[in-house]
Amino acid sequence: WLNDEHIQRDYELLAQELQRENPDLAVRTRLVDPLIAHYHLRLGSDNAALRAFQRIVYDRNGNDIADFMFLPVNDASATDPDRRGSHWSLLMVDRRERERPVAYHYDSAGRLNDQPAAQLARRLGAHLEPTRITQQQNGYDCGVFVLDGTRALVGRLGQRRQPARLHLDYLAVDRQALQNRLRG
């Protein structure tokens, strides 16, 4: 199973790769730390969520430059200590139209994370659109789907594909490649 540290580490590696290979897209893309997505944006107070959102989308000069946000979604509960979270999915928010951001939810276990994803999309002021992703065949690869799905979507955005074509029906995850990346 992957935890938030694994996801954050692979997001850091992807950000470095993106900076080298496509600096323009790197400037406009935010790979959000899972803890920020979960505790600040989704479950935090309105003030905490607003501050976290502003730190994510604004650059040092106060310009809102984040067109794309990738947010790991976890099913942990803020009120039930027995629900620590056992499933990851991905929410990609397309903010190119600032007044009408669109969120795409990719859940490799069907609709297991629909409620937390909808809650996060609402907090971000984004309209949630249905999307498709390959379904996992086991009970433990959801985090790999989040990371490989993020990489596939970033790659497609780098090719300037439209969000409507960003379904991940044929995503093939590679657990070994992820292990190799994380080992360095």
Residue 160 has a pLDDT of 75
User: Side chain identity at 1, as an amino acid letter?
Assistant: W
Look at residues 104, 68, 94, 88 and name the one whose alpha carbon lies nearest to residue 146: 88
pLDDT in tens, 1-42: 789 999 999 999 999 999 999 999 999 999 999 999 998 999
Residue 49 has a pLDDT of 95
Whether the CB-CB separation of 101 and 129 falls below 8 Å is answered with no
Q: Is the dihedral of CA 68, 162, 14, 123 positive or negative?
A: positive
pTM: 0.94
Question: What Å distances lie between residue 49 and 28, 37, 42, 114, 144, CA to CA?
Answer: 20, 9, 7, 20, 27
pLDDT in tens, 32-56: 999 999 989 998 999 999 999 999 9
pLDDT in tens, 63-102: 999 999 999 999 886 666 556 678 999 999 999 999 999 9
Separation between Cα atoms, residue 37 and residue 57, nearest integer Å: 13
Residue 184 has a pLDDT of 85
Residue 83 has a pLDDT of 61
Residue 75 has a pLDDT of 87
Order of strands across the sheet that contains 127-129 = 29-31, 68-74, 88-94, 102-106, 127-129
Look at residues 43, 16, 48 and name the one whose alpha carbon lies nearest to residue 31: 16
Residue 163 has a pLDDT of 53
Separation between Cα atoms, residue 120 and residue 69, nearest integer Å: 12
Residue 162 has a pLDDT of 63
